[in-house]
Structure 1
Amino acid sequence: MTLPTITEDTISLAAGDELILRFRTWEDYEALLARREDKAGLRIRYNGKTQEIRIISPLPRHANQVDLLADLVKAILRHEGKDWDAFTPITLKRIKQQGIEPDYCFFIDNRASILGKERIDLETDPPPDLAIEIDLTCSTKPEDYQAIAPVELWIYRQSQLSIYQFDSQQYRESEISRWFPGYDLKSLIPQYGDRGWEIGSSVALREFESVLRSL
């Protein structure tokens, strides 16, 4: 068994591990981000209210699921004739309040505001229109995004999709997506997410696109 290691030069976690550091400051969080260097696979979160830093090392299946769900979203956007810009990985910060790295995020209505930008600065730029989290080994709560405030947040866990919409104060769970109100996403996304794991992502995506054309 490999134990998590944090030194002056190294952050090392086995795939699937999650490490929580309590009573930490924003400066501690920024230092860890700088120390991470080339280990981009590690996700680091900061919560100013709880003063906790969470370091997560995703499983290989995690990347597969993220890629497929993002492709499903892009398929719907193409079907709807909507433009978008998407980012992964990306670090979103609200200074001294929250720092988080969604698995994928989309700018749809706000895409023009971030075109050509190397960094998203939430002091001047809008938050993502849609943020997606895939939970295999960790647990994401809507409160983890409260200060960042993407318009809509999806959390995919154990073949279930939860949709949350920000009402300017907090997240409220919704049965439908603001961006795709004409689709039963809580059925479609798990169906083709599981299908991709069983028969392969590209095959599942083609099937999904066929279904979209038939709607």
Structure 2
Amino acid sequence: MLITINENTLSLSSGNTVIFPHQTWEDYERLLNLRQEKSTPKLSFNLKTKEIRLMSPLPSHGNRIDTLRDLVKIMLGQKGLDWQCFDPITLKIPPKAGVEPDTCFYIENRQAILGKDKIDLTVEPPPDLAIEVDFTSITDIGAYEILKIPELWIYRQGVLKVYLLQGEGYQESAISRLFPDIDVKNILPKYVELGWNQGSSIALRQFSNL
């Protein structure tokens, strides 16, 4: 069965995406509560579009995000920067938007969230970087704009797109604000796909030796 929703269960078959139109914040919270402590399906809400999106990833999605996350950690380590990484995590500003990035990093704002069991974006700052792998779904960029995450990466079909928040919206950029001296758009996809085809350890080792 593709999707199951009842008073005790929320489940979605792997590799599928479902979009519910004409939804409210209360609908979104109800689905979050139904999912309980599970990390799937991922849920997002955008008040502007009134859409709730559900996505259940495939193993190929998980492998690519794991490799991409580890590549970012290597780059941060090489720059001598501390970070706090979260996944899974639900980021929301009621009643406007909620997202669950595949992974996200607090770097410049790391001190503000240390030791926090939950992050309240009405109080704490947003992550400095959020990353999504769109393997069977399309990220709702508009929801991220509402949360004002400064930098968003979306990886899809071997292409990494970098979005920087400019005012109220994102602009696609050739350069990462966090890693301006690294051509992340062209370098990282090579190692993400190498990790899938030959193994993550091989990809990470080769990247570390650049």
Fold match by TM threshold 0.5: yes
Secondary structure of 2:164's aligned partner: strand
Q: Is the 8 A contact 2:2 2:16 kept in 1?
A: no
Distance 2:176 2:113 in 1: 22
What residue number does 1:100 align with? Answer: 99
In structure 1, runs of 5+ residues without a counterpart are none
Instruction: Say yes or no: does 1:68 pair with 2:67.
Output: yes
Q: Residue 174 of structure 2 corresponds to which residue in structure 1?
A: 175
Deviation by residue 1:145-194 (Cα, 9 ceiling, x = unmatched) = 11111110000000000000012311011001001000111111110011
2:26 partner amino acid: E
2:175 alignment partner, SS class: coil
CA deviations over 1:47-76 (Å, ceiling 9, x no partner): 101111111111111111111100000000
Count matched residues: 210
> Would you say 1:36 and 2:35 are equivalent positions?
yes
Query: What residue is the counterpart of 2:184 in the other structure?
Result: 185
What's the TM-score once normalised by structure 1's chain length? 0.95
Structure 1: distance between partners of 2:36 and 2:125 = 27
Normalized against structure 2, the TM-score is what? 0.97
Work out the CA distance in 2 between the residues paired with 1:79 and 1:12. 40
Aligned equivalent of 1:145: 144
For residue 142 of structure 1, report the CA deviation from its aligned partner.
2.4
- Who is 1:157 aligned against? 156
**Distance in 1 between residues matched to 2:9 and 2:140, nearest whole Å:** 28
1:20 matched to which residue of 2? Answer: 19
Q: What SS class does the counterpart of residue 43 from structure 2 fall into? A: strand
CA positional deviation for 1:120: 0.8
CA contact (8 A) 2:132 2:139 kept: yes
Q: What root-mean-square deviation, in Å, do the aligned CA atoms of Structure 1 and Structure 2 show?
A: 1.0
Structure 1 counterpart SS, 2:172: strand
Deviating 4+ runs (over 3 angstroms):
none
- Give the C-alpha shift of residue 104 in structure 1: 0.4
CA distance in 2 between partners of 1:41 and 1:28 (Å): 17
Matched to 2:90, the amino acid is T
Structure 2 runs not aligned, ≥5 long: none
